[in-house]
Amino acid sequence: MARHVARGDDEGPRTVWMVTLVLWVLVIWVHSLIPGPASTDESMTFVRLITPLLNILHVDDLVLVHTVVRKGAHLSEYFVLAMLSVVALRPRLAVPLWPAVMHALLCVAVPCIDELVIQVRVPGRDGSVRDVLIDMAGFALGTLIAVAVRRAVDRRRRRAWLLEQREREERAARYVRRARRRTRERAERAAFEARHQAAQQGQSGRPPAHLS
């Protein structure tokens, strides 16, 4: 019940997340349209920004750093994609299965189209199966973290819902007990008044009013 209510309340935000997911896929694909030299310059700009840190760490192999930056960009793009997919699609290994199927399809189709369809047609760039695997690794990592966070949030929401239900039941039980106590007190008061009236009438020698 709690899950059903939560899903109904989240339909609006879910639509926003779906749109964000589609836009992020387009960002990935459009970014792959950047020609090779421009893409290299973009990566080297980032390398120059972190050069002071590299000097502190005594890292002087800029070729290796450039490679790590480029592959890290692949990893991070698909890490974000996976997290957006988990939030938007909410894949589960339960009926209905279409969210899980769509999530798996994103994991395979988006990097394959990116590397093996788009980049092979861009000057100075080439697609590779290795990059596809790196992309899928980032997607898998993002999925694991996003699912773990989602489960933690779901557990917290369910505990809060159960606590609220328990409080409602306790309030209802207290109300019923108070109502029963008032009813019992009124009945006892009415019985006492009836006995008191009967005693007064008996002392005066008059028959009770209901016998006269």
Neighbours of 185 (CB within 10 A): 10
What pLDDT is stored for residue 138 in this prediction?
A: 95
What pLDDT is stored for residue 196 in this prediction?
A: 80
According to DSSP, residue 161 is labeled H
What pLDDT is stored for residue 1 in this prediction?
A: 45
Boundary of a domain, candidates 131, 147, 165: 165
Here the tokens at position 44 are 């080297």
Contact predicate 116/127, CB 8 Å? yes
Mean pLDDT within 61-68: 84
Same domain for 58 and 87:
yes
Same domain for 175 and 105:
no
What pLDDT is stored for residue 136 in this prediction?
A: 95
Same domain for 202 and 121:
no
Same domain for 131 and 29:
yes
129: three-class secondary structure by DSSP:
helix
Same domain for 197 and 139:
no
What pLDDT is stored for residue 2 in this prediction?
A: 45
Q: Which of 143 and 49 is assigned the larger pLDDT?
A: 143
Same domain for 156 and 88:
yes
Same domain for 144 and 72:
yes
What residue type is assigned to position 141 of the chain?
L
Same domain for 110 and 7:
yes
What pLDDT is stored for residue 9 in this prediction?
A: 54
Here the tokens at position 146 are 């996003």
Residue 86 CB burial class (10 angstroms; 0-12, 13-18, ≥19): buried
Same domain for 80 and 185:
no
Contact predicate 132/112, CB 8 Å? yes
User: Residue 170 belongs to what domain range?
Assistant: 166-211
Same domain for 115 and 104:
yes
Q: What is the domain count for the chain?
A: 2
Same domain for 174 and 108:
no
Same domain for 190 and 109:
no
Query: Sorting pLDDT into bands at 50, 70 and 90, what band is 5?
Result: very low
